Amino acid sequence: MKVMFVGLPKSGKSTLYAAVTGKAVDPYAPPEVHQAVVKVPDERLTHLTALCKPKKTIEATIEFYDVPGCSPEDAHGREDWRKFLPIARQAELLVVVVRDFANDAVPAHKDRVDAAADFTAMWDELIFADLDTVTTRVEKLEASLKKPTKTHDAEKRELALLSRCRDALESETPLSSVLTTDDERKLVSSFAFMTQKPIVCVRNVSDDEAGTAEGLPADHVEASLALSASIEAEIAQLEPEDRQLFLDDLGLATPARDRLIQTCYTACGLISFLTMGPDECRAWTIRKGSTAVEAAGKIHTDLAHGFIRGETVAYDDLVANTDMKGAKAAGKVRAEGRSYVVQDGDILNILSSA
Ligand SMILES: Nc1nc2c(ncn2[C@@H]2O[C@H](COP(=O)(O)OP(=O)(O)O)[C@@H](O)[C@H]2O)c(=O)[nH]1
Ligand SMILES: [Mg+2]
């Protein structure tokens, strides 16, 4: 999964990126996109590893991107930001970071601390970016339809859909509400519209609010959470044994990295299933609602082709019965067919003729 941090300048995107990835960003470097792959923390996988002592353990991963800030008020600022849009369009999820902390040393963008207004400003930019794409394409299609071409029917269909998209964007409706069928989404998939992506809103609060603040209520978002990016970036630098003490002091159960990753999973409709054995214990990411044969295909296409059945046990059932042997004895290991809907935390063993 690719996750992109977007927001106004000085909202704390790079600080949050450092907190989540452990990689600091030089604030004086020229604006550029930063990218890092983060292992998804999963206590279940840690426990299975302790149980099986496999040769290797492979965590699920998530890619984070830090995109330079957007200054919509001035034409250059908008143009500069739009240079990064082709990269931002590759994201499956946008994390909009809004500033809600005072810091005299680093004045806020336009000297304003107003998280709700900043979220709206960023949201408008996403709408404008899509509207530009749609308008340009509509004009091209209209011109093309005036000439005799063999592709008229397909062009007419696309034009009808994009005209609906344009109307929606003009009334500030995200394209996720317009493109509701697989056919519609396929027809315009090459545009990778920004307002089609799920959004998580992060309210970046001051250090003293780190343990108490709540997420910003905002329209069009899948989830909202509050954190203090600067304190979380400090926590990320600590040795693991000191980290929990620091978090306890702040009244936090887990670091922002874990909370954010969990929120991204939920916002994208993703879950994890696990595989275990003497060679390898591994966490896999799939869409919620995926079937056993789709999960098999995630591991290897051959496993899906030759699918016979999936031996399945819920993680909690395995733990409650100590190990796989115990779970089997307690009747908790089920044989499931190809259409079984995989649940978060299922431990799967796929039997295949391949
Ligand atoms: N007090 C405080 N300062 C922060 C916080 N988050 C970021 N900053 C500071 O604000 C400045 C801008 O942050 P940065 O992450 O570079 O913002 P970006 O422009 O959105 O990438 C940096 O000097 C950070 O140290 C926070 O939660 N609290
Ligand atoms: Mg930055």
Element (H, E) at 307: strand 307-314
Establish whether residue 275 lines the binding site of ligand 1, counting it when its CB lies within 6 angstroms of any ligand atom: no
DSSP-derived pairing of the beta strands 280-287 and 307-314: unpaired
Which atom of ligand 1 is the closest one to the Cα of 7? 20
Q: What are phi and psi of 139, to 5 degrees?
A: -65, -40
pLDDT of residue 310: 96
3-state secondary structure of 341: strand
**136's tokens:** 């340009």
Centre of ligand 1 from the C-alpha of residue 14, in Å: 7
Which amino acid residue places its CA nearest to atom 9 of ligand 1?
Answer: 12
First to last CA, the chain: 28
pLDDT of residue 330: 97
Q: Determine the Cα–Cα distance for residues 305 and 293; give it in Å rounded to an integer.
A: 8
pLDDT of residue 200: 98
Burial of 64 (0-12, 13-18, 19+ CB in 10 A): buried
Domains of the chain, earliest start first:
2-196 (1.10.150.300), 289-352 (3.10.20.30)
DSSP-derived pairing of the beta strands 280-287 and 93-100: unpaired
- Mean residue pLDDT of the chain comes to 94
Establish whether residue 104 lines the binding site of ligand 1, counting it when its CB lies within 6 angstroms of any ligand atom: no
Burial of 182 (0-12, 13-18, 19+ CB in 10 A): exposed
229-237 and 240-250 helices cross at what angle (nearest 10)?
150
Q: Determine the Cα–Cα distance for residues 199 and 14; give it in Å rounded to an integer.
A: 18
Q: Determine the Cα–Cα distance for residues 279 and 276; give it in Å rounded to an integer.
A: 8
Centre of ligand 1 from the C-alpha of residue 234, in Å: 12
Which ligand is located closest to the Cα atom of residue 205?
1
Question: Which residues of the chain are under the pLDDT cut of 70?
Answer: none
Ligand 1 pocket test, candidate residues 230, 232, 237, 250, most atoms within 8 A of CB: 230
Which ligand is located closest to the Cα atom of residue 7?
1
Establish whether residue 229 lines the binding site of ligand 1, counting it when its CB lies within 6 angstroms of any ligand atom: yes
Other CB atoms closer than 10 Å to residue 111's CB: what's the count? 6
> Which amino acid does the sequence have at 124?
D
DSSP-derived pairing of the beta strands 56-58 and 280-287: parallel
C-beta separation of 62 from 92 below 8 A: no
Q: Which residue has the tokens 């954010």?
A: 260
Q: Which residues pair with 202 in a beta bridge?
A: 97, 225
Centre of ligand 2 from the C-alpha of residue 245, in Å: 29
Which atom of ligand 1 is the closest one to the Cα of 210? 27
Establish whether residue 272 lines the binding site of ligand 1, counting it when its CB lies within 6 angstroms of any ligand atom: no
pLDDT of residue 80: 86
Which amino acid residue places its CA nearest to atom 4 of ligand 1?
Answer: 230
Other CB atoms closer than 10 Å to residue 147's CB: what's the count? 7
Establish whether residue 101 lines the binding site of ligand 1, counting it when its CB lies within 6 angstroms of any ligand atom: yes
Establish whether residue 14 lines the binding site of ligand 1, counting it when its CB lies within 6 angstroms of any ligand atom: yes
Q: Which residues pair with 286 in a beta bridge?
A: 271
pLDDT of residue 114: 94
Establish whether residue 68 lines the binding site of ligand 1, counting it when its CB lies within 6 angstroms of any ligand atom: no
Q: Which residues pair with 88 in a beta bridge?
A: none
Which ligand is located closest to the Cα atom of residue 106?
1
Ligand 1 pocket test, candidate residues 10, 11, 16, 260, most atoms within 8 A of CB: 10
